[in-house]
Structure 1
Amino acid sequence: MNKDKSEIYCYGVPPDLLRALIRVSGFQLGQFPFRYLGIPISYKRISIGDCSKLVEKMVATIKGWGTRKLSYAGRLVLVKSVLSQLHSYWARILIIPKGVIQRIMYICRNYLWKGGDDYHKAPLVSCESLCMDKNAGGLGVVNSQDGTCDLCGGAVETRDHLFFMCPFNSRCLKMIGNWLELDIPEQETFEWCRKLRLRSLMQKQIIIAAILALLYQIWWSRNICRLENLVIHP
């Protein structure tokens, strides 16, 4: 590993420990936010400005297609296979700000009807109709602005709903609890983990690792449902 091209990033680490890590590793101390594979990485919620590269890349991609005379069907294929995938790549890792999501939908809509990133007329078909499933008469475009939980479809998606008020996630949490032979509460789960008192440190680490793995699985399943129109069952 090239120490001159590597940096170490820390958050919430005591100064003495941070200095020791830098001394032992030989790496330079990096500053947040930074970009990895084009995606901004930060310890706090990313801003609309941090996502400017995503919007700029989508606009640049559309301008590269500007000389092509494509039908609505051809542009629809590009929206679903290219533009939506650019958004999907970011959304699998980050919670994209609502303002950016609205801009992405605006860009996709404009390209579909006009062939460019700017279009001021009323669309021929409403966004809701476009985003409906093909079996329901829509075109199957992913609606990133819909705030409904994709796992249960019965409530607005919030952090508290995902972890763990959603029936899908609640069942997953119960399955983990049964496997660990513990009664894990659906509310204040993280506070429960923090206050957990066990004789063995390893037992606590196993429980926390299982819950962290569940968090990853929930986020992965949510993204699969939203971005690839698939349904996951526990």
Structure 2
Amino acid sequence: MESVMGVTIVLDYFYEISGLKLNISKCEIFTVGISVQSLNNIINSSSFKHGTLPVRYLGIPLVIRKLTVKDCQPLIDKVKQLIFPQSIINKIEQICSRYFWKGSDIPVAGAGINWDRICNPKSEGGLGLKDIKSWNKACMLLLIRRLLAGEFAMGCLDSQLFNQES
């Protein structure tokens, strides 16, 4: 219990200096060789959850053995979720169309030209606007390329991604 209180005091001091705080809902404590009563006291006083091994990062267990496809499935599922479902793409295109025709998110009745046609290149009679579905796939492919090449920094995609020509 003394060790946990010591860590809590150090963290509180860090919070005062930095202005940062832990997300307590994501904090876990790992223990070995202590009684259930001691564990309960620690959890109650710290608000940490009791973690179990193996520890996972981005859904992948941090282990020394070779990872299997099953180990990595949560990460694969997360990567797949980065591609917008068609219903979301339709909603985004609807909002874009409304702003294009009316300048606000007011429903448009009888828009003169289909949104797909507006997204065609100028040489094909469109305005050359970005097609959301193709843009989403292109961003996803660029993200995967950067991940594989080790170029991806922590955080969001950088502005370079959004400044590239399609």
- TM (norm. structure 1) is 0.30
Q: Which is bigger in relative contact order (C-alpha 8 A, separation at least 6)?
A: 1
Structure showing greater radius of gyration is 2
- TM (norm. structure 2) is 0.39
